[in-house]
Chains A and B, each alone.
Chain A
């Protein structure tokens, strides 16, 4: 059953139409990736799912419930969590306070439990527990943003370019973690610039181009599609 379903969703910024009628479905337990070049509308779509933006047309359903136009806080309480583009940490709060806020909708003991898991995944964050988030390095902030989204233990986790700014060794770690939490029952929607990596992690993928979905298929099919190879993977074959 589809846990998330977007039907003919249109999103615009004033008169700039960023997303022009997309249909998208994610089934429970899947990892789905959304790929596309700069400005295709990936972030716009993610922000709309979490209610930060309101679509001017179309319908968004989560677990069969219509959540179109609902407030972000309500949507989050229903079980969707986003690690946003550009990290958006709380700059003058410590690392641990940031993480605790990630679990705002949960109880204290639940928070403490998940906190341990996040720290195990990113030992650097444990080291910097009491550092103000605004003074963390770029990559450290990215770890914090991912960790904070995990703190909510959402049913659907949205990750907008989680690998951005992370060292290769950490990227590997994050991908592993994504697979792991997915196994534990979290559905994941992943936006990635690194299409190869995303498709290797995901079960299914959508290709977004200038606000429209142009391809939707299983990940390995996309990975071998000529169009994708040429436009997104091309070039790098040599190494």
Chain B
């Protein structure tokens, strides 16, 4: 089944889609990685992160700067992007020792704004609002990726990697520990779970994959500026997770595809486009509050609260 699916995916570039459609698919791919990584944090650990775009941006800038200045291979710059993002994830995870709920969400939002504004103002490093241009094509072992099909395969590989790693992680005892933390921190701690350790871990891993997505994006778009990593972007990613169904990897992947495609499909509506998009978002939430593939049982009343 899975093999069938993957082999179908490998065929896609041969089906003669227009470059535009290919571009949408590749972009969806980036958002799938972002949504999967955020799902670990929001869907499983229950931390509503309003700053995921910051990790995405940190990964993008790290990778782009390394590639521009040192002409390094994509394998290296992508991992570096992931690692630097993970480092910031770790930092952001530390306050969770004391902070919870909306207060924590606020800190993630603040972090996102700080990162964007630093990106906007630190001219010597980031070239501020002018952004980084001329980011080289990704190079892997001397192979230069510069065609849509190649980008498509690269993002596909990244998705599969992210998927497998996150999926295995979630099924492991660490994964159940995260869910337990989401459900009841006090009880989780009484079960011997080191809350801080797991939350920091969730932040770092989540940020790592967001960073990887960022570095792919940077090389793919060949131009980045702080505008691409705003709070709105964080919200967009969060919407994908919630729309897709928190805690369901397949769901959030679908959520990503839907939320990348819908605005594209509405493009013809010009100024009505965002109006309709807003309405679509509300309607989607109302029709499936648990998300496309979320568990409907998740909506029943908890007995004791």
- Chain A in direct contact with chain B (Cβ < 8 angstroms): yes
The DSSP consensus for interface residues of chain A is loop
B303 at interface, CB cutoff 8 A = yes
B69 at interface, CB cutoff 8 A = no
Closest chain B residue to A86, Cβ basis: B304
Cα–Cα, bound, A86→B304 (Å): 7
A14, B303: Cβ atoms closer than 8 Å:
no
Task: Give the residues in chain A near B303, CB-CB below 8 Å.
Answer: 86
B304, A13: Cβ atoms closer than 8 Å:
no
Task: Give the residues in chain B near A14, CB-CB below 8 Å.
Answer: 297, 300
Tell me which residues from 287 to 305 in chain B have a Cβ below 8 Å from any Cβ of chain A. Answer: 297, 300, 303-304
Task: Give the residues in chain A near B297, CB-CB below 8 Å.
Answer: 14
Count of A-B contacts judged by CB separation below 8 Å: 5
A1-40 CB mask vs B (1 if < 8 Å, else 0) is 0000000000001100000000000000000000000000
Cα–Cα, bound, A39→B210 (Å): 46
B266-305 CB mask vs A (1 if < 8 Å, else 0) is 0000000000000000000000000000000100100110
Cα–Cα, bound, A13→B299 (Å): 11
Closest chain A residue to B301, Cβ basis: A13
Cα–Cα, bound, A205→B7 (Å): 67
Closest chain B residue to A43, Cβ basis: B303
Q: What's the least CB distance linking B73 to chain A, in Å?
A: 53
Tell me which residues from 43 to 82 in chain A have a Cβ below 8 Å from any Cβ of chain B. Answer: none
Closest chain B residue to A13, Cβ basis: B300
B183-218 CB mask vs A (1 if < 8 Å, else 0) is 000000000000000000000000000000000000
Q: What's the least CB distance linking A109 to chain B, in Å?
A: 34
B84-108 CB mask vs A (1 if < 8 Å, else 0) is 0000000000000000000000000
Tell me which residues from 79 to 106 in chain A have a Cβ below 8 Å from any Cβ of chain B. Answer: 86
Q: What's the least CB distance linking A34 to chain B, in Å?
A: 18
Task: Give the residues in chain A near B304, CB-CB below 8 Å.
Answer: 86
Q: What's the least CB distance linking B305 to chain A, in Å?
A: 8
Task: Give the residues in chain B near A86, CB-CB below 8 Å.
Answer: 303-304
Cα–Cα, bound, A140→B300 (Å): 29
A-B CB contact pairs (8 Å), 5 listed: A13-B300, A14-B297, A14-B300, A86-B303, A86-B304
- Report which A residues bind B (CB closer than 8 A): 13-14, 86
Across the A-B interface, give the 5 residue pairs with the lowest CB-CB distance, nearest first. A86-B304, A13-B300, A14-B300, A14-B297, A86-B303
